[in-house]
């Protein structure tokens, strides 16, 4: 058995994964966290908490979760109310957690499971398994390997070149596989994916991904199980990216609806100007052809090492016209956050180079 998970599991960056990452980044590029009004932030916060707990079998609805948030009386079991109270605290500000710190991971688990288990916040000391007759079959690594496996997973998160949209689901699945705590691993995995993505883009703190996971709970479990069987994380990553994209599209619809209903409300701003929108539409149309996705995005995400000038990137892409390259490749890639300038304060510098973000 290997003592390292520097590569947590085999993963093939499929054309579908590349296309989904591009679509998500393009949607993100048209607005930011400031577009989300305070009331919509709260509504999505309540949805995230209620949905994540519902996945665990908690029967309290959104109205009950809101009542608990507002310190109002609620009819429900003591455990269910405690679960919601804990999750409200843990989800309150995802960006306050450092995604790469073991202490924060343990503290978050301690909050989520406070009053629900005696060893909240502490790694399990027993084995996790299922029984077939009198025989116990392990479904997670031995408990004595948990500290090492978690430390190595966090180290991997620190140094991985994977885009956060890929690294988040990978971490989520790997935490489920290691099963570091005797209970509460599922809710912690969902929270930590939000933490990872919120540090990349603050909008994810207000994105109710958990609601779409709950609506697709059977597929969620199937993706986890299929990934375990196939030993290839692409299955779970693709599922997660589809869920993220669906929740992002819904959020944009909600923002647009509120903008139409309240055109002078200062908390809501237009999502994108016509020029940006048309550029995005043209790029998405180009990416419908999967060969173009592989040609452009896979080079930008997978083959670029170090810093490259525009001419070097054009050579890699076998392009001749600088204007076409900037319009259809470089500018959209910068807008989507795949690459960044080495001299951002002087975008037109002759020494300007580009590297993976």
CA dist 104 and 192 (Å) reads 10
Q: Yes or no: say if 162 and 170 are a contact pair by the CB < 8 Å rule.
A: yes
Label residue 261 by pLDDT band (50, 70, 90). Answer: low
Q: Is the whole model's pTM more than 0.85, yes or no?
A: no
> What is the per-residue pLDDT across 114-123, written as a single tens digit (0 to 9) for each?
999 999 999 9
Burial class (CB in 10 A: 0-12, 13-18, 19+), 70: exposed
Mean pLDDT of 83-95: 97
Mean pLDDT of 287-295: 39
Q: How far is CA 34 from the centre of its chain?
A: 19
Residue at token pair 């930590």? 192
What's residue 304's pLDDT? 62
What's residue 89's pLDDT? 97
Label residue 207 by pLDDT band (50, 70, 90). Answer: very high
CA dist 335 and 143 (Å) reads 44
> Regarding predicted confidence, which is higher, 158 or 333?
158
What's residue 34's pLDDT? 65
Q: Can you give the length of the chain in residues?
A: 357
> Regarding predicted confidence, which is higher, 97 or 14?
97
Give the chain's domains with CATH numbers: 33-255 (1.10.3290.10), 274-356 (1.10.10)
Does pLDDT of 42 surpass 60? yes
Is 132 strand, coil or helix?
Answer: strand
Does pLDDT of 182 surpass 80? yes
Burial class (CB in 10 A: 0-12, 13-18, 19+), 196: buried
What's residue 187's pLDDT? 97
CA dist 86 and 318 (Å) reads 54
What's residue 314's pLDDT? 78
- Containing 16, the helix (H) or strand (E) segment is helix 15-28
Greatest Cα-to-Cα distance within the chain, rounded to the nearest angstrom: 72
Is 308 strand, coil or helix?
Answer: strand
Q: Yes or no: say if 106 and 117 are a contact pair by the CB < 8 Å rule.
A: no
> Regarding predicted confidence, which is higher, 283 or 245?
245
CA dist 38 and 210 (Å) reads 19
Q: Yes or no: say if 204 and 172 are a contact pair by the CB < 8 Å rule.
A: no
What's residue 264's pLDDT? 42
> What is the per-residue pLDDT across 224-246, written as a single tens digit (0 to 9) for each?
888 876 778 899 999 999 999 99
What's residue 282's pLDDT? 43
Q: What is the mean pLDDT of the chain?
A: 81
What's residue 109's pLDDT? 98
CA dist 207 and 192 (Å) reads 14
Label residue 336 by pLDDT band (50, 70, 90). Answer: low
Between helix 15-28 and helix 290-298 the angle, nearest 10°, is 70
CA dist 177 and 67 (Å) reads 34
Label residue 286 by pLDDT band (50, 70, 90). Answer: very low
CA distances from 279 to 242, 255, 333 (A): 23, 21, 12
Q: Yes or no: say if 295 and 317 are a contact pair by the CB < 8 Å rule.
A: yes
**73-87, 271-285, 300-314, 324-338: least confident range:** 271-285
Two tokens, residue 250? 């819904």
At residue 130, what are phi and psi to the nearest 5 degrees?
A: -125, 160
Q: H helices then E strands: how many in the chain?
A: 16, 4
CA distances from 287 to 23, 252, 323, 329 (A): 9, 21, 19, 11
Does pLDDT of 271 surpass 70? no
> What is the per-residue pLDDT across 103-114, written as a single tens digit (0 to 9) for each?
999 999 999 999
Q: How far is CA 29 from the centre of its chain?
A: 16
What's residue 268's pLDDT? 35
> What is the per-residue pLDDT across 342-357, written as a single tens digit (0 to 9) for each?
998 888 888 888 887 7
């Amino acid at each position: 058995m290997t003592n390292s998970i520097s590569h947590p599991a085999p993963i093939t960056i499929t054309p579908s994964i590349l296309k989904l990452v591009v679509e998500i980044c393009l949607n993100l590029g048209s607005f930011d966290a400031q577009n989300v009004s305070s009331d919509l932030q709260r509504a999505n916060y309540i949805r995230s908490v209620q949905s994540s707990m519902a996945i665990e079998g908690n029967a309290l609805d959104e109205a009950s979760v809101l009542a608990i948030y507002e310190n109002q009386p609620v009819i429900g079991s003591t455990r269910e109310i405690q679960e919601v109270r804990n999750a409200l605290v843990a989800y309150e500000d995802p960006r306050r957690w450092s995604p790469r710190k073991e202490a924060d991971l343990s503290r978050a688990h301690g909050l989520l499971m406070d009053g629900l288990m005696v060893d909240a916040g502490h790694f399990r000391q027993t084995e996790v398994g299922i029984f077939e007759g009198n025989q116990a079959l392990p479904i997670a690594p031995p408990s004595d390997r948990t500290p090492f496996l978690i430390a190595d997973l966090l180290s991997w998160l620190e140094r991985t070149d994977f885009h956060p949209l890929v690294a988040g689901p990978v971490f989520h699945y790997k935490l489920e596989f290691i099963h570091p705590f005797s209970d509460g691993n599922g809710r912690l995995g969902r929270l930590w994916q939000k933490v990872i993505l919120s540090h990349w883009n603050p909008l994810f703190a207000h994105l109710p991904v958990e609601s779409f996971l709950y609506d697709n709970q059977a597929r969620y479990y199937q993706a986890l199980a299929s990934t375990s069987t196939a030993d290839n994380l692409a299955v779970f990553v693709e599922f997660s990216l589809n869920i993220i994209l669906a929740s992002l599209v819904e959020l944009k619809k909600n923002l647009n609806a509120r903008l139409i209903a309240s055109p002078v409300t200062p908390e809501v701003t237009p999502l994108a100007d016509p020029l940006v929108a048309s550029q995005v539409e043209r790029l998405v149309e180009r990416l419908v052809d999967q060969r173009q996705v592989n040609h452009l995005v896979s080079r930008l995400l997978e083959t670029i090492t170090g810093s490259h000038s525009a001419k070097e990137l054009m050579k890699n892409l076998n392009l001749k016209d600088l204007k076409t390259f900037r319009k259809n490749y470089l500018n959209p890639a910068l807008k989507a956050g795949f690459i960044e300038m080495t001299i951002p304060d002087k975008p037109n510098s002759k020494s300007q180079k580009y590297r993976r973000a």
